[in-house]
Structure 1
């Protein structure tokens, strides 16, 4: 029978053999490995017997490796190195330093709030990947409630029964209008008044657009969307050029109003005054990486609603 088929080399054997090779002595190798000399000698003898080949050349003063011993030493170092890398990688997974987290967020959070926060936080988690999924706040809350999502970033306007919620920052929605639009001189307007206005919307399926259209359906109406675009910047550009009106986050309006010259009007409706919140079931059940991210968000986000001065088209923010 091939002796290799019966070999049972374990990590202790490999570590011992390398210690002996590095020290050039079975006695010193045994000492380095915290083994008695007799035990170390017996292990080497069984290794040679099971492998069917001599590994060491015994000399009056120490030992040296045979050609087979050199080969074993080479592969033993590779095996132990790989084992160390494996342990480090598994430890990363255990602590959340490696792997991925999935974060569900509504449109406003995904486009205006989270990117900057994630960019800074991810610097401390170089081996971690983040999967972002855009959903409406209603869909996210339901997913977290059912345990299908670990954490969600949603609007405070959606009830999150049974979940822990923590406010992060303002997320008010405003109406933006062409510079000479009839609403441009108003400070506030009811959503119902704009339902017959031509609108510039986001693409179908967009979480924020779905939310706005749901508010129209509650009033028994349908929005008159002239064109749908993928980005807030494109929406702002077309509104500034007179294509129609649009509803966008206030922070987005502040970012683009100078560039495109549109007017900004507050919405009277309660659903337009809201905050971005994080929601989850139990913090203890979250992954360590997710707990770290939530801690970062809470520490670096203004929890109180900031008082922002919003003006119409003839005045500045």
Structure 2
């Protein structure tokens, strides 16, 4: 049984994409070549690795085992590549980072920019996903670092405080609530809301809190970004919930929404930077984690293990 790194990388891509076609595209390989490699792996093992259907391809039990070990091998190779780069200076590094909406738009750009400026040979793949999906990816070994809300179930992962991410209520200037300094969701629930698009984790979080009061939110419009949400609120279309960091960016504007603290525990959130095991991260991923945490170049991350 001989699998090379190309085989392992291709198979991991196929499992992640849910199809041989998608996996081949991610591996920059033709469909015919990818299919032939999978067949060769199955012949070598004497058992199917994928259950193929019109909806795509999902791994069999043997396939899941192969995917798990493939990711471990690829992770070790990435670690080797990064650490050897310290000596050769000719190798590039690669870090896979997943983060939720608030981290992506409000908190990540500055530390990421500093990291990339300090490490010009390193590339970073950043993808926005819901916190629960990020946790699943970390446990499956398909990303190096994940930034999630503290409401996610991060049991078994190492967790590091990243940023405060409190939520506030945005209301139009002149609105009946605009003079309030603190408010509960129950006091505002009768107003029309501007919300993020369906499927947004923040939207789901706020909607779940509304249901706990026995009422549902009424939506006037749903938008794709915090900026669009604040613009809609500013125009008087409705009210909305945003992270406090978003409110901070509007502080210097003369005509802007008014932001009110939400006086409830569910609105007092933290973002966590999570990994499976900091000491086992490839060198460049460890550096990325240190940059996110604002730490000096070589902290003892083991002291923060949960």
Q: What TM-score range do you get, normalising by the shorter chain?
A: 0.5 to 0.7
Q: Which residue does the alignment assign to 1:228?
A: 222
Tell me whether 1:293 sits opposite 2:288 in the alignment.
Answer: yes
TM-score of the superposed pair, with normalisation by structure 2: 0.62
**Candidates 243, 263, 275, aligned match of 1:268:** 263
Work out the CA distance in 2 between the residues paired with 1:92 and 1:151.
16
> Structure 1 residues 92 and 154, CA, compared in 2 at 3 Å: closer, same or farther?
closer
**Structure 2 spans left out of the alignment, 5+ residues:** 1-79, 297-306
Query: Which deviations, in whole Å up to 9, do the C-alpha atoms of 1:264-302 show, x marking residues without a partner?
Result: 11112212102221011211221211100111122269x
Question: Which whole-Å CA distance do the structure 2 matches of 1:263 and 1:109 have between them?
Answer: 22
Q: Is the 8 A contact 1:176 1:263 kept in 2?
A: yes
Partner of 1:152: 146
- Where does 1:130-141 land on structure 2 (aligned, <5 Å)? 130-141=124-135
Larger radius of gyration: 1
Call closer, same or farther: CA 1:263–1:269 in 2, change over 3 Å.
Answer: same
Q: Is 1:198 the counterpart of 2:203 in the alignment? A: no
1:28-72 alpha-carbon deviations (Å, 9 max, x no partner) = xxxxxxxxxxxxxxxxxxxxxxxxxxxxxxxxxxxxxxxxxxxxx
Match of 2:159 in 1: 165
Equivalents in 2 of 1:131, 1:141: separation in Å?
A: 17
Give the Å deviation of 1:145.
3.2
Matches for 1:60-99 after TM superposition, within 5 Å:
94-95=84-85, 98-99=92-93
CA distance in structure 1 between the partners assigned to 2:285 and 2:215 by the alignment: 40
SS at match of 1:157: coil
- SS of residue paired to 1:279: strand
Task: Report what 1:8 is aligned to.
Answer: none
Secondary structure of the 1:102 match is strand
Q: Is 1:114 matched with 2:108?
A: yes
1:62-117 CA distance string (max 9 Å, x none): xxxxxxxxxxxxxxxxxxxxxxxxxxxx9558549624322111111100010111
- Give the whole-Å Cα distance in 2 for the aligned partners of 1:245 and 1:180: 12
For the aligned residues, what is the CA RMSD?
Answer: 2.4
Question: Please, which runs of 5 or more residues in structure 1 have no aligned partner?
Answer: 1-89, 302-317
**Using a 3 Å threshold, how does the CA distance of structure 1 residues 116 and 282 change in structure 2: closer, same or farther?**
same
TM-score for both structures, normalised by structure 1: 0.60
**Could you tell me which of 155, 172, 193 is aligned with 1:178?**
172
2:249: which partner in 1?
Answer: 255
Give 1:172 shift.
Answer: 0.6
